[in-house]
Amino acid sequence: MALSVAISFGLGGLSGCVGRGPQPPAALDSYYRDQQPALSGDGRLLAFVSGRDGTQNILLYNLQRQQFINLPNLNRDDAIAESPSLSYSGRYIVYLASDRGRPEIELYDRITRRTQVLSSGYRGWIRHPKISPDGRYIVFQTGRRGQWDIEILDRGPNVELDRRQ
C-alpha cells in the first residue's frame, strides 16, 4: 500500500493531501507568502513561515485534522522567525529568531509552551537549524571561521526526548 503525499505551493497558498489513494486536498489558502515548510517525522504536522498577520511568524498545521495549532509564547512582535524544524512528533520546534539584527537558535517546547535560546553568546553567523527526531541534537550552519561550516549542538543526556507514540 502506497502512502501518497501531495503538497503544492502556489499563489501564496498551500494545499495538502495525506492518505491512501485520492483524497480531497486540505487548503491553507492565503494571500500572504507562506514559505520554508518543515514536516514532523511522523508526517502529521507541518510548520512553515507565514506573513499572514503582517509579520513573519511560524505557524503549525495539523494535516490530519486540517486545522492550525496554537503556539503560545513562540512568535513575538519584536522578532522575525524563520527556518523551522520539527522533532518526530512535533513536540519540539527549533528555528531562528532575529530581534537585534542577528539570528539566534531558539527551541520551543509545545508541552511546556516555553522558548529557550540555544545560541546565546554564540560568536558568528548561524543559519538553517535542524533538530534530530528525538529532540536532543541541533545541527546548523555557522560562519564563525569565515566560511560556512556545520556544527552540532547537544542539548545533553538529561533532556526529555521526543519519543515515538
pLDDT tens sequence across 21-56 = 555 555 566 677 899 999 999 999 999 999 887 788
pLDDT of residue 116: 96
pLDDT of residue 17: 46
What's 33-154's CATH class? Answer: mainly beta
Q: Is the pLDDT of residue 130 over 90?
A: yes
pTM to 2 decimals?
0.81
Cell 502556489, residue located: 10
For the chain, the domains span 33-154
Give the pLDDT band (50/70/90) at residue 99: confident
pLDDT of residue 121: 77
CB of 73 closer than 8 Å to CB of 55: no
What are the strands of the beta sheet with 80-86, ordered from one edge? 80-86, 92-98, 103-109, 114-117
pLDDT tens sequence across 100-128 = 788 999 999 999 999 999 998 788 889 99
Q: Is the pLDDT of residue 163 over 70?
A: yes
* Burial class of residue 159 in the structure, from the number of CB atoms within 10 Å of its CB (0-12 exposed, 13-18 middle, 19+ buried): middle
pLDDT of residue 91: 98
* DSSP symbols for the chain: -PPEEEEEEETTEEEEEEESS--PPEE---SS-EEEEEE-TTS-EEEEEE-TTSS-EEEEEETTTTEEE--TTT--TT-EEEEEEE-SSSSEEEEEEESSSSEEEEEEETTTTEEEESSTT--S-EEEEEE-TTSSEEEEEE-TTSS-EEEEEE--TTSPP----
pLDDT tens sequence across 51-96 = 887 788 999 999 999 999 999 999 988 889 999 999 999 999 999 9
108 strand-pairing partners:
93, 115
